[in-house]
Amino acid sequence: MCGIIGCAGRGGETLDTLMHGLSKLEYRGYDSAGVALSNEELSVRRKAGTLDALRSSLSSQTLLDGDDSTVEGDGLHDNPVGIGHTRWSTHGPPTDDNAHPHRDCTGRVAVIHNGIIENYQELRDELAAEGHEFHSDTDTEVVPHLIETALDTGMAPEEAVRSAVSRLEGAYAICAVIAGVDRVFAARNDSPLVLGISEEAYFLASDVPAFREFTDQVVYLDDGEFAVINKNGWRVTDVDGTVVEKSINTIEWDPEETGKSGYDHYMLKEIHEQPRALRQCLQGRVDELGGEVLLDELGALDPDTVQFVACGTSYHAALYGAQLFRSIGIPAQAFIASEYATSVPPIENDLVIGVTQSGETADTLSALREARHRGAKTLAVTNVVGSTAARECDEALYIRAGPEIGVAATKTFASQLITLSLLTLHLNGSEDDRDVIAGLRDLPSNVQAILDDTNAREIAEEYHDSDAYFFIGRGLHHPVALEGALKFKEISYEHAEGFPAGELKHGPLALVTENTPVFAVVTGDGEQARKTIGNVKEVEARDAPVIAVTDGASDVERYADHVLEIPESTPRTAALLANVQLQLVSYHAAALLDRPIDKPRNLAKSVTVE
Ligand code: F6R
């Protein structure tokens, strides 16, 4: 969804700091952007399009020389406070007028917002009846007008912001500035907001990368909390203004981890980071001599059954996790989170596991809340320490992938699979685990072997102008087929579908032609491989090009036009290795088609609306 940043104490660097922060948050939304600086005067600049459009408008005119936005004054003062926003539209198309910050009638108040204000129409009607004028289609615009109304009654700025926010229903992370007030005000409910503390400056943002360059000290705000920063400090309160004591956390990853490190795209960089991400995930959790996995951060778990809730790529990881749980005798099922609440299955000593990279996906949070409400124990499997899922669930298990900026999930999917694998080993504790554990140990180097020697680009070159692309696999390779197709379609904009291999003949085979390549994941030489080879023959008979992703243990090569090889491994790690080859094919196809790989159209990294 949208990305927001606020800062105080950066002096003449305030605008640059906001723009830098927005560049780190652009993965959250990139259809329009805007900034506001405030001291005795308030100046706002907003532009439809990517951050570059805003950047060029700022370089062609100084912020205060410009448009309708300046209230008074003739230049920036030494130490303004500022707010910035990058938008992913929910109410109204991406236009200059709908871009944030939004202002009140007097132009004194500017507000940025991430989330959805559910009662905005009611508030807008009420404010319009009082004579307020609106200039956008957004739900956000009611907020500066509510603050204006509160200020007009004589309330102090902080109280006015709290009073305005108390009228809102829905999800929001909000930052506001008021001309003549040297503070940034913020509020949070159901949308992420973190506070950053450095020696000289203070920050508010949707996510840590926005200010990581300046500090590793953060405070995670909770729902219902308000924050105020100025150049001298910070304070968190509740809705009544009572100070809330917060603990300060230290971020463990480096600022460089959020750069591209010489790769053309974040996605390619993140694909290449997988060996390291997997090592981080395994570190200190596997006792190879003892043949056991120890997840010390977890309390006692002894579920009768397990339900997974997740969306998109994380749902594919959940499908994989559910199979692993069933393989150790624990009934398990994966649900698409947005569908979970419509027919919640009976819950009795169930563990409900939310798989969510960001920990902020509204659909997943809502399913987890529903599960808790019905008495289930909940566990968040997430990448983001301090995320809402991690804080709201009874237990949290971190996948330790490091920051992922590319909108298409890659390394976090790999780390989710391995974390779920570790979880089942932790709960199972059987002698047979030794082979599996050895497979996990070899995984990072096996991924590296693929990255060092892959023909994925040649395959992409040969087939990137096909009519459609199909991906098939059985068992643990079924989620990989789904994930292969999702990655392909979201970054290449080409039609791609994934199926359980056996399902193809029950309908989708009608779509298969000589111009629809089929990627078949076949590893090992057992029953599943034999059956999938049968399905491969079915598509081969329809003249479809077949690309086998295989460890070479079966004779699938005989029926394939091309092979994407993976090293020999265990069944559960083979799925992950096959996925790396498919990630690379998607990446290269999208690059050949000249797509904006890191920011696919209409998509955002963290989807904080239902
Ligand atoms: C696809 C992708 C999305 C996310 C989904 C859930 O590449 O990234 O499908 O997996 O929006 O996000 P999280 O895992 O943050 O809950």
pTM, two decimal places: 0.81
Ligand 1 center to residue 27 CA distance, Å? Answer: 12
pLDDT of residue 290: 79
- Which of 67-81, 123-137, 385-399 is the least confident region? 67-81
Fold classification of 454-610 is Rossmann fold (3.40.50)
Q: Is 70 exceeded by the pLDDT of residue 61?
A: no
Write out pLDDT tens, residues 317-347: 999 999 999 999 999 999 999 999 888 777 7
pLDDT value at position 398? 93
Ligand 1 atom at shortest distance from the alpha carbon of 412: 14
Q: What is the pLDDT confidence band of residue 443, given thresholds at 50, 70 and 90?
A: very high
Atom of ligand 1 nearest to the CA of 605: 8
3-115+169-251 in CATH: which number? 3.60.20.10
Report the alpha-carbon distance of residue 112 to residue 103 in Å, rounded. Answer: 9
Mean pLDDT of all residues in 46-52: 90
The token duo for 523 is 């590893």
What pLDDT is recorded for position 73? 37
Give the mean pLDDT of 218-243.
95
Q: Which of 64-78, 247-261, 388-402, 529-543 has the lowest mean pLDDT?
A: 64-78
Regarding the beta carbon of 388 and ligand 1, being less than 6 Å apart is answered no
Domain 259-451: top CATH class: alpha beta
* Alpha carbon nearest to ligand 1 atom 3, residue: 312
Q: E strand or H helix at 388, and its extent?
A: helix 388-392
Q: Whose C-alpha lies nearest to ligand 1, atom 7?
A: 408
Over the stretch 134-151, which tens digit does the pLDDT of each residue have? 999 999 999 999 999 999
Under the banding of pLDDT at 50, 70 and 90, the label for residue 38 is very high
Say if 259-451 and 454-610 have the same CATH topology: yes
pLDDT band for position 46 (cuts 50, 70, 90): very high
Q: How confident is the model at residue 75 (pLDDT cuts 50, 70, 90)?
A: very low
As a whole number of angstroms, the longest Cα–Cα distance in the chain is 81
Residue pair 366/342 in contact by the 8 Å Cβ criterion: no
271-to-226, 281, 359, 461, 579 alpha-carbon distances in Å: 38, 15, 21, 19, 10
pLDDT band at 464; cut points 50, 70, 90: very high
Whether 68 has a pLDDT exceeding 50, the answer reads no
Q: What is the pLDDT of residue 167?
A: 97
Can you tell me the distance from the alpha carbon of 151 to that of 179, in angstroms, rounded to the nearest whole number? 12
Report the distance separating Cα 504 and Cα 470, nearest Å: 10
Q: Rounded to the nearest whole angstrom, what is the distance from the C-alpha of residue 598 to the centroid of ligand 1?
A: 14
In this predicted structure, which of 48-52, 199-203, 441-445 has the lowest mean pLDDT? 48-52
> Is residue 356 in contact with ligand 1, taking CB distance under 6 Å?
yes
Atom of ligand 1 minimally distant from the CA of 312? 9
The pLDDT, as a whole number, for residue 342 is: 86
Mean pLDDT of all residues belonging to the chain: 92
Catalytic residue check, 246:
no
Answer yes or no: is the C-beta of 361 below 6 A from any ligand 1 atom. yes
Q: Is 2 a catalytic residue?
A: yes
The domain limits of the chain are 3-115+169-251, 259-451, 454-610
SS (H, E, C) 444-484: HHHHHHHHHCCCHHHHHHHHCCCCCEEEEECCCHHHHHHHH
Catalytic residue among 2, 175, 281, 311: 2
Report CA-CA distances (Å) from 512 to 245, 341, 471, 536, 582. Answer: 61, 36, 11, 12, 19
Rounded distance from Cα 289 to ligand 1 centre (Å): 36
Q: What is the model's pLDDT at position 431?
A: 61
Lowest mean per-residue pLDDT among 75-89, 417-431, 545-559: 75-89
The share of the chain scoring above pLDDT 90, in percent, equals 78
pLDDT, residue 63, reads: 57
Decide whether any atom of ligand 1 lies within 6 Å of the 89 Cβ.
Answer: no
